[in-house]
Structure 1
Amino acid sequence: MAEDDSYESMLCVKPEVHVYRIPPRASNRGYRAADWKLDEPAWSGRMKITAKGKMAFIKLEDKNTGELFAQAPVEQYPGSVVEAVTDSSRYFVIRIEDGNGRHAFIGLGFADRGDSFDFNVALQDHFKWVKQEGELAKLEATQSEAPKLDLSFKEGQTIKISIGNIKKKEAGGAKARPMGGGLLPPPPGAKAGGFLPPPVGQQTVPAAQSNPAPLLDFGSPVPTAQPSSDLWGDFTSAGSNSSKDAASSGWVQFS
């Protein structure tokens, strides 16, 4: 946003500067401060640099009363209004105006190089800002003149979105469900029914011994079933294996 042209801002203040009468330029090589009477300034006082809109103003004022001695309007820097001398960094030639269209060139000097450096930087920064504001204004004007792209939907216009990963997820999503209740599978060699046989020494009495023979069977009494050494069947080897063999069978693993 551009600065209000009615507002005057302060850019730099130096409490003491010197003004010199300078001879006409002898050639195109530039001004030399050594040609001035540096020990006899024509005027000494305070200098201010102010800005109003794009313009900068070098003002020379009386240090006690603030009365304006001379003023140099600056439209651009570097330019013809402020020119550095060829033999020193502390002296400049400025063009002052009286407000009636008349102008004159005077020498401006600073007692310290730091003051002349601040004078130079204040003018550079202001006109750098002026340049940036000008480029921004041109950019905004170009954008405002360019046709705007209409991205709104017209009446009845629709769009179609295709999501390609749904079929892959459905095809590969069917997985084998675990056994109900999360139980471990039976050990290798287990009989149908999933129950382990009782340990050795606790065999149950066969059904033939616990139930009496039918009354009409007058044959020889049914001999008592003797426990067989093969009662455990396929579990004999599993029950007699060491813990190392059981771990190697692979159906139960403990972490």
Structure 2
Amino acid sequence: ILNMGEAYEHTLMVKNECFVYRLPPRPSNRGYRAADWGLDKPMWTGRMRVTTMNGNLTIKLLSNEGELFAEAPVAEYPGVAVESVTDSSRYFILRIINQQGQKAFIGTGFADRGDAFDFNVTLQDHFKRAKTEEIIEQAPVNEPSLDLGLKAGQTFRINIGNSAAKSKPKAKPASTGGLLLPPPPGAAASQPVASNDKSEWGEFSSASDNQWVQF
């Protein structure tokens, strides 16, 4: 991170080797092909650094001694400042701008496919993050939440119990339709039974144990 007065420059990516190519006339009906650039003869070789300051992204091409060769401000990606070629994932077209505001297009790329992948992902992540922050800033302010806390002196009661058991209905006795139920087993044995004994001792059944009947 570099301190540029009150603003800070953040470095998002550094690649120690990248190539720059002079572009042939732009095709009118199709995109650029890296194979047309003469990839074995770059016009410049150096380092690439991707930085941001105050949310603005810039691609800087630097010599090995740190001198600025060219820089490309990028307002969106994909866009006119950075374009992909049609025949390779390792090469791109950059729109560079000098201190006088003059613009030019150059070809750039990497020998390592992984470096090109990192470059692509770095740009995508930056603008995805910027888009998310923009959406958050434009979102309406939420309504103030309700204050559900207890005020001073307020109380509340909680009934803890088995409400299901309380609400369970009592079982009703089975209906007999108004008819008397038969006595339970053994009840007949406890009831007095009239004697119909006509034996010879039957008429003495009412005599007490200490009385005799004389004939």
TM category (shorter chain) comes to: 0.5 to 0.7
Q: CA deviation at 1:106?
A: 0.1
Q: 1:42 to 1:162 in 2, by over 3 A?
A: closer
Distance 2:41 2:163 in 1: 96
Distance 2:99 2:83 in 1: 21
Superposition map of 1:18-167 within 5 A:
18-63=19-64, 65-139=65-139, 142-143=140-141, 147-148=143-144, 151=147, 163=159
Q: Name structure 2 gaps, 5 residues minimum.
A: 1-5, 167-215
Q: CA deviation at 1:137?
A: 1.5
Q: Which deviations, in whole Å up to 9, do the C-alpha atoms of 1:84-117 show, x marking residues without a partner?
A: 1001111100000002221100000211111111
Name 1:11's counterpart in structure 2: 12
Identical aligned pairs, as a percentage?
Answer: 52
Q: CA deviation at 1:28?
A: 3.7
SS across alignment from 1:59: strand
SS across alignment from 1:44: strand
Q: Which one has a larger percent helix, Structure 1 or Structure 2?
A: 1
Runs of 4 or more off by more than 2 Å in structure 1? 146-153, 158-170
AA aligned opposite 2:8:
Y
Distance 1:167 1:109 in 2: 75
Q: Which one has a larger percent strand, Structure 1 or Structure 2?
A: 2
Q: CA deviation at 1:54?
A: 2.1
Q: Which deviations, in whole Å up to 9, do the C-alpha atoms of 1:138-161 show, x marking residues without a partner?
A: 23xx11xx55356489xxxx8986
Distance 1:46 1:169 in 2: 79
Q: Name structure 1 gaps, 5 residues minimum.
A: 171-255
Q: CA deviation at 1:24?
A: 2.2
Distance 2:110 2:51 in 1: 18
Q: Are the aligned partners of 1:72 and 1:97 in contact in 2 as well (CA < 8 Å)?
A: yes
Distance 2:67 2:59 in 1: 14
Q: 1:28 to 1:54 in 2, by over 3 A?
A: farther
Alignment TM-score, normalising by the size of structure 2: 0.64
Q: Which deviations, in whole Å up to 9, do the C-alpha atoms of 1:107-142 show, x marking residues without a partner?
A: 002111111111111111111111121122223xx1
Alignment TM-score, normalising by the size of structure 1: 0.55
Q: CA deviation at 1:56?
A: 1.2
Q: CA RMSD in A?
A: 3.0
SS across alignment from 1:7: strand
Distance 2:67 2:163 in 1: 88
